[in-house]
Amino acid sequence: MGEVAKLLADHGPAFGQALLLTWKLTALSFVPGVLLGLGVAMLRLFPLPPLRWVLTLYVETFRNIPSVALLIFIVFALPDLEFVIDYEPSVVLTLVLVCSAFTADYVRSGINTIPGGQIEAALSLGMRPARIIWSVVLPQALRSVVQPMTSLLIALMLSTSLASQVPFPGRELTTLVSKIATDSAAGMAAFAVAAAMYVATGLLIAWAGAALDRKLRILR
Amino acid sequence: MNRSLEDILFGAPTPRARTLSRGMSVVAAGVLLLLAAGIVWRFHAAGQLDARYWKFFAWPTTWAFLAKGLLGTLASAAMAAVIALSLGLVLLAGRLARTRLVRWPAVAAIEFLRGTPTLLLIYVCFLVLPSVGVKLGTYWMLTLPIGLSTAAVVAEVYRSGVLAVPRGQADAARSLGMTEIQVFFSIVFPQALRYIVPALVAQLVIVVKDTTFGYVVTYGELMQNARVLIANYHSLVPVYLIVAALYCLVNYAISRASRRLGRPMH
Amino acid sequence: MPLSIHSFLKPTVAALAIAGGGAVCAQGTPIDAAAFDALVAQGPVASAEAVAASPWASKIRQAGTLRLGGTQTSNLFSLLNEKDGRLRGFDAGIAQLLTRYILGDASKVQFTQVNSSTREQVLINGQVDTVIATYSITPARAEKISFAGPYYTSQAGVLVKANNQAIQSYNDLGGRKVATQAGSTGPAILAQFAPKSTVQEFQTHQEALDSLRQGRVAAYVTDYTLLLNTLSLGTGDAKLAGAPFGAQDPYGIGLPKGSDGVAFVNAFLKKIEADGTWAKLWTIAIGQRTGSTAVPTPPALP
């Protein structure tokens, strides 16, 4: 415990900044990622084979690619194709792409829980498919995927540790721990503090997600 | 088997709708082809289609070299999966225990391992543990943290499967006089497994993805061999593209294998 | 001296490029593999008593392989040819000669790829027996591990794109983005000589080079010899801005802290420097490939 106290005395502000950076990266990637994933999921519904094929390719690619490989591709290979993206946007872009692929998948299974009878009823009422998607499918799909999306948010937060692999301006929690561990003997204490911060954030998100799920979920 | 929502939504179109969707398909295909052409043109404009950046892919030595890297990846992934699946079972047993003395440490362990990034655990094995005297081999510095991290998630997946098995099964087994262990391993767990195989396989894919952190502990796997090729031929885009495609293929194949087994939870 | 190397260099590379076809331009002159393999195969072998006198060497002898931490991606110092699986370069040569010295066979190496961030830790963790990877001897590192040697010295140099007129030397780096290798002496040198520059640290030489080529940074500051071999980046040429500067940077052989291997390896270095092997290795690995003919004298051993 004394070690932890000393560590916080030396590096307290750094840990605070690192935690804020972690949260910032998480939020910056989650919101666009979910919106993009929703868009992909909705577009996949349309009966246009080329569109569906390409979107399936998109989802399968970004679900299966290791985040490190994607980040390295964006940071080191894209510039050869004349796309030079700075480090922080590169990390965010990587997380957004991966998040969108998983979101698209979860939303699709959410869509599949909607009973077909509702759609048939809506069709018989004369509603257009676009209107059905917007008013019937989307709200129910969103309400039924709160739980996997919560897990995705937590996984995304943990994936921000990726930023330690490129010359990132500023240090998030994992980079900070590895620096402290390399430069001093306080590695164990640093790890304990960082782990506590990660776990606490994750538990908070999980608790909020569970509460949201209880309110929103549809019991069939 | 229910028809998918898309079929219901867009099934049985009027002739006018059919022509419309066929027309839109052609337009969509056209747009996508233009996009693909644009990408190819960009490659060409940046000089990335030059033969010297691709010609070494025609040599079997290149593929043999990449295969060696892939072997390193899979060797670590396989052992991490074994650790995850077996340790997950132990954590599950702790999680389902009646006594708080056993349950609370299990919950704490699961929340801790689930709640910290795998990369952080890898750094701990590499930088921190040796300073307190625990010196693992290079292979274990990568495999153990991945295995531990995944074990916690696997334990939760096991648990969701067990909870999905109807209670009546366990009750009936107990009324037949089976012991708790028999109830669990002969009746409950096999049924639970059939529900959760897709989720377990998804974890396997994550394990393979996590092995790309091998260079943090100096473990040789596919990404490292990609870097050697780049140092030899200065061909960043083609090599990284092919390696990324390899990872996607391997993981996709693993996911596909799961579709043969198991049924969904509902 | 360096300026004359430079003036030999461009015409040499150009001539070789015309002679050898386009491929040469992409990676500079490839190493003479046959000469390298031959040199390593006839290096000195230690006597049994010399090995027995050193616990570090005896352990390696018993294990049957030398666990080496090095790099596979450094063009001049240690590059892996994936076609025949052989490592070649100046550092690779020193490592293989050392292996032959202890074990009688230069190929009994178990290789681990390290980078600037992992070099000390793998020695502390006992993952490798020695690290030979353009490893500069600094007091900070000497607190964690021990160094044998030095076996080579160099200074820092500044690499910029060929069409860059703004940067003529390290004095012009203020306010610009400069790449360097993490964990190397680069950051300290930049802090001293170009404190107003924005430093970006990369894990490997290759990544830093790519960042220069791709325009992420305006200059790359690292060991001068490394830069000599990099005058052609593939899709855009580079040039050296100014003469080498800074203190003489000694490269050492990394060993676990307090290891008795230091004395053993120093004896080995003395041997290969005395019988001309060091000079021959320098010629094959560095001299022939950078157009320099004047073999430097190896640095004095403590």
ipTM associated with this complex: 0.86
Is C10 part of any domain? Answer: no
Which residues touch A70 (CB under 8 Å, ≥6 apart)? A62, A94, A97, A98, B244
Cβ <8 Å between A195 and B115: yes
- Please report the pLDDT score of residue B169 as a whole number: 87
* A 58-77: CB under 8 A from C: 76
Q: Residue A112 carries which DSSP code?
A: H
Say yes or no: A182 contacts chain C, CB-CB below 8 A.
yes
Residue C8 lies in a domain: no
Q: Please indicate if any CB of chain A lies within 8 Å of the CB of C204.
A: no
pLDDT in tens, A69-114: 999 999 988 888 888 898 999 999 999 999 999 999 999 988 888 8
**Contact with chain C for residue A89, Cβ under 8 A:** no
Judge whether residue C25 has pLDDT over 50.
no
Query: What are the chain C neighbours of A184 within 8 Å (beta carbons)?
Result: none
Using CB atoms, which residue from B65, B138, B227 is nearest to C206?
A: B227
C148 and C271 together in one domain:
yes
Interface B:C, Cβ pairs < 8 A? 69
The pLDDT of residue A25 is 94
Please tell me the predicted confidence (pLDDT) of residue B262. 53
The interface residues of chain C toward chain A in range 113-172, judged by CB-CB distance below 8 A, are 117, 120-121
What is the per-residue pLDDT for C10?
A: 43
List the single best residue of C190, C199, C214, C217 to mutate versus A (max A Cβ within 10 A). C214
| Per-residue confidence (pLDDT) for residue A182, from 0 to 100 | 80
Can you give the pLDDT of all 266 residues of chain B as single tens digits? 456 777 777 777 788 878 888 888 899 899 999 999 998 888 888 888 888 888 888 889 899 999 999 999 999 999 999 999 999 999 999 998 889 999 999 999 999 999 999 999 999 999 888 888 888 888 999 999 999 999 999 999 999 888 888 888 888 988 998 888 888 888 888 888 888 888 888 899 999 999 999 888 888 889 889 988 888 888 888 999 999 999 999 999 988 877 766 545 44
The pLDDT-based confidence of C87 (bands split at 50, 70, 90) is: very high
Can you give the pLDDT at residue B88?
95
In Å, how far is B147's CA from the nearest CA of chain C?
21
Q: What is the pLDDT of residue C12?
A: 41
Beta-carbon separation of A84 and C117 below 8 A: no
Q: Is B240 on the interface with C (CB under 8 A)?
A: no
A2-216: CATH topology: MetI-like fold (1.10.3720)
- A84 contacts in chain C (CB < 8 Å): 214-216
Query: Is residue C43 a part of any domain in this protein?
Result: yes
* Model pLDDT for residues A105-132, shown as the tens digit of each residue: 999 988 888 888 888 899 899 888 888 8
Say whether residue C215 is in contact with chain A using an 8 A CB cutoff. Answer: yes
| B205 interface with A at CB cutoff 8 Å | yes
Question: In angstroms, what separates the C-alpha of B26 from chain A's closest C-alpha?
Answer: 8
Report residue C244's pLDDT band, with 50, 70 and 90 as the boundaries: confident
Q: In the structure, what pLDDT confidence band is assigned to residue A167 with cuts at 50, 70 and 90? A: confident
For residues C140 and C256, membership in a common domain is answered with: yes
Residues contacting C10, CB < 8 A, separation 6+: C231
With H, G, I as helix, E, B as strand and everything else as coil, classify residue B232: helix
Q: What residues make up the domain containing C84?
A: 29-153+249-290
pLDDT at C250 over 60: yes
**Per-residue pLDDT tens for A168-194?**
888 889 988 888 888 777 788 888 899
With an 8 Å Cβ cutoff, are C206 and B61 in contact? no
- What does the mean pLDDT of chain C come to? 83
Q: Has residue A63 got a pLDDT over 60?
A: yes
More confident residue, C238 or A125: A125
C279 and C236 within one domain: no
Kindly state the average pLDDT of the residues C263-285: 92
Q: Which of B148, B97, B154, B98 is nearest to B119 (CA)?
A: B148
A203 interfaces chain B, CB cutoff of 8 Å: yes
Q: What is the CATH number of the domain that holds C259?
A: 3.40.190.10
Residues of A in contact with C187 (CB under 8 A): none
DSSP result, A143-195: HHTHHHHHHHHHHHHHHGGGGGGS--SS--HHHHHHHHHHHSS-HHHHHHHHH
d(CA A197, CA A45) in angstroms, rounded, equals: 40
Cα–Cα dist A151/B89, whole Å: 21
Angle at A216 between CA A210 and CA B2, to 5 degrees: 105
Residues in B closer than 8 angstroms to C82, CB to CB, are 61-62, 65, 225, 228-229, 232
* Minimum-distance CB partner of B25 among A48, A63, A77: A48
Of residues C202, C207, C216, nearest to A84 (C-beta)? C216
Residues C51 and C176 placed together within one structural domain of the fold: no
pLDDT of residue B139: 92
The pTM of this model reads 0.85
pLDDT at A157: 94
One-letter amino acid at A106 equals Y
Question: Is-contact A143 A216, C-beta < 8 A?
Answer: yes
Q: In this structure, is residue C112 part of a structural domain?
A: yes
C106 and C215 fall within a common domain: no
Q: How far is C269 from chain A (nearest CA, A)?
A: 30
C-alpha to C-alpha distances, A198 to A25, A30, A34, A157, A205, nearest whole angstrom: 14, 17, 22, 8, 11
pLDDT at C235: 52
Please report residues of A whose CB lies closer than 8 A to that of B198: none
Kindly determine whether residue A76 and residue C207, on different chains, have CB atoms separated by under 8 Å: yes
Peptide bond into C150 cis (omega under 30): yes
Closest-CA distance, A163 to chain C, in angstroms, reads: 13
Chains in touch with B (≥3 Cβ pairs < 8 A)? A, C
Question: Which residue bears the tokens 């006839």?
Answer: C42
Which residues on chain A are in Cβ contact (under 8 Å) with B119? 161-162, 164, 174
Give yes or no: residues C67 and C107 share one domain: yes
Does position C23 have pLDDT exceeding 80, yes or no? no
Sorted by sequence, the CB contacts under 8 Å of residue B259 that are 6+ apart come out as B198
Render chain C in DSSP notation, one character per residue.
Answer: -HHHHHHHHHHHHHHHHHHH-HHHHHH-SPP-HHHHHHHHHT-----HHHHHT-HHHHHHHHHSSEEEEE-SEETTTEEEETTTTEEESHHHHHHHHHHHHHHS-TT-EEEEE--TTTHHHHHHTTS-SEEEEEEE--HHHHTTSEEEEEEEEEEEEEEEETT--S--SGGGGTTSEEEEETTSSHHHHHHHH-TTSEEEEESSHHHHHHHHHTTS-SEEEEEHHHHHTTSB-SSSBEEE-SS-EEEEEEEEEEE-TT-THHHHHHHHHHHHHHTTHHHHHHIIIIIHHHT--SPPPPPPP-
Percent over 70 (pLDDT), chain A? 100
Pairing status of strand C245-255 against strand C146-161: antiparallel
Strand partners, C239: C160
Query: How confident is the model at residue C13, as a pLDDT?
Result: 40
Q: Is the Cβ pair C22, B52 closer than 8 Å?
A: yes
In a shared domain, residues C132 and C170: no
Q: Is residue C177 part of a domain?
A: yes
Q: What is the mean pLDDT of residues C144-170?
A: 89
Q: Do residues C51 and C148 both lie within one domain? A: yes
Same domain, C119 and C57: yes
